A and B are shown apart, each in its own frame.
Chain A
Amino acid sequence: MEAKEKYVLRLADNALILGQRLGEWCGHGPILEQDIALTNVALDLIGQSRMLYQYAAELKNDGSTEDDIAMKRDVFDFYNVLMVEQENGDWGKTIVRQFFYDTYNYFLYEALCTSTDQRLGEIARKSFKEIAYHAQFSAEWVIRFGDGTSESHERVQAAVDDLWEFTGEMFTPDEIDLAMTEAGIAPDLNQIAAQWKRKVTQILDIATLKMPESSFMQKGGKVGEHSEYLGFILAELQFMQRAYPGMQW
């Protein structure tokens, strides 16, 4: 598989898996407005994943469709970061996962808007407008919880501590990231890391939350080595295509 195809799949898989995770909240949100908010974000992400899978299918050029790529690959052929497959937990944990990811996505897609790859640039310019709303939403909730009651503060601090080890993977370049940066297709991840860290520090500070000091970071998702959660996510996501291959409605 050529590097660009794999890079596009990583972006697509991140969007699809997080969209699917957020979809689990549908009908279970703490209040109606927030239930609707998260499913709106999920819808944007799934829409974005479709644009990316369509592009990946064209790059693959073997007759595969966007649906084939999303529905017929198994765990080891998914390249999303570990962050997006983590469990929803309580509302606070979902919000912190979203905040860490949205902030990364915001700076990444802002940079992808000027990609030398025309198609990726188009997709990024479309997606970035939506991502800006996501990033604002999750940051505001982190502040509300952190600077809220002692219960909300404790829970959201625990989520920050729990999820911290999954932040490193987003910024650790491998040979595919480096090749994309070299070609001007994707930004330098060090630059995105610096922007992310500045924003996250600022928000955690306003929220009276502590940034974890641990430097131990998990990795593996980008090369298909996943936590056990992904299998369960795919079992639900792909059930119909597995049970009735090629079905449509």
Chain B
Amino acid sequence: MMKEKIRTILHEVKDPEIPVLSIEDLGIVRDFFIDDTNTVTVVITPTYSGCPAMDTIEADIIKALEEAGFKAKVKTVLDPPWTTDWMSEEGKRRLEEYGIAAPVKGSADKRTLFGKSPDVRCPHCRSMDTQLVSQFGSTACKALYKCIDCLEPFDYFKCI
């Protein structure tokens, strides 16, 4: 019961850079538990090691839980490292609606130096005829693509 309540609260905490995604959709909440003093400890993992949103996310989690009457703590773990495979299907759907192409699961092996870029679908016109412009986009987690059919540029949430 209590667990469900906390899960609902965490579901309302959004990624400050991509406000259609909750931190649960992103898969950065690894665990949470409540102790006898009614303190909730939320275990999170960063998407990228330099992600500037992590501090805001931590503050937002504590604020949301405190507003619901809990005492809250956030613990950050590094391992296992975050992967885009942890993103929820619902999250991917909303990401695409928002205009950002969702990570392609099982795309080219990320460990090779010259991995072929995956086939990415344009979030605007759904064409598969798209082209990588740059592996690095407006935030650490995104690459920049353009659509050959509708000619619109778009962000792709890249696989790591």
Residues of A within 8 A of B (CB): 33-34, 36-37, 40-41, 43-48, 50-51, 106, 121-123, 125-127, 129-130, 132-133, 135-137, 139, 199
Contacts and interface: CB of A to CB of B under 8 A. Distances in A.
Contact of A132 (B110, B133, B137, B144): B110
Query: How big is chain B's contact interface, by range?
Result: 20 to 34
A51 B51 contact: no
Contacts of B113: 106, 132, 135-136, 139, 199
A173 B144 CA distance: 40
Nearest to B142: A40
A137 B135 contact: yes
26 contacts: A33-B133, A36-B136, A36-B137, A36-B138, A37-B135, A40-B137, A43-B48, A44-B48, A44-B49, A44-B140, A46-B50, A47-B48, A123-B78, A125-B80, A126-B46, A126-B81, A129-B81, A132-B110, A132-B113, A133-B135, A136-B114, A136-B115, A136-B135, A137-B135, A137-B136, A139-B114
Contacts of B80: 125
A41 B80 CA distance: 22
Interface of B: 46, 48-52, 78-83, 110-115, 133-138, 140, 144, 158, 160
A171 B141 CA distance: 32
B78 A33 contact: no
Contacts, number: 79
Contacts of B83: 129
Given A37-B134, A129-B83, 12 more contacts: A33-B144, A36-B136, A40-B136, A44-B48, A44-B140, A47-B50, A48-B49, A126-B81, A126-B82, A129-B110, A132-B110, A137-B135
B59 to A, nearest CB: 15
Contacts of B52: 43
A137 B140 CA distance: 14
Contact of A126 (B78, B110, B135): B78
A192 to B, nearest CB: 15
Given A33-B133, A37-B136, A136-B135, A43 B81 contact: no
B134 A122 contact: no
Contacts of B135: 37, 133, 136-137
Contact of B160 (A34, A45, A130, A199): A130
B49 A122 contact: no
Most buried by A among B83, B111, B133, B140: B140
Contacts of A133: 135-136, 158, 160
A41 B140 CA distance: 8
A34 B81 contact: no
Contacts of A48: 49-50
A41 B111 contact: no
Most buried by B among A36, A126, A139, A199: A126
B136 A51 contact: no
Closest 7 CB pairs of A and B: A47-B50, A47-B49, A37-B136, A40-B136, A43-B50, A122-B79, A33-B134
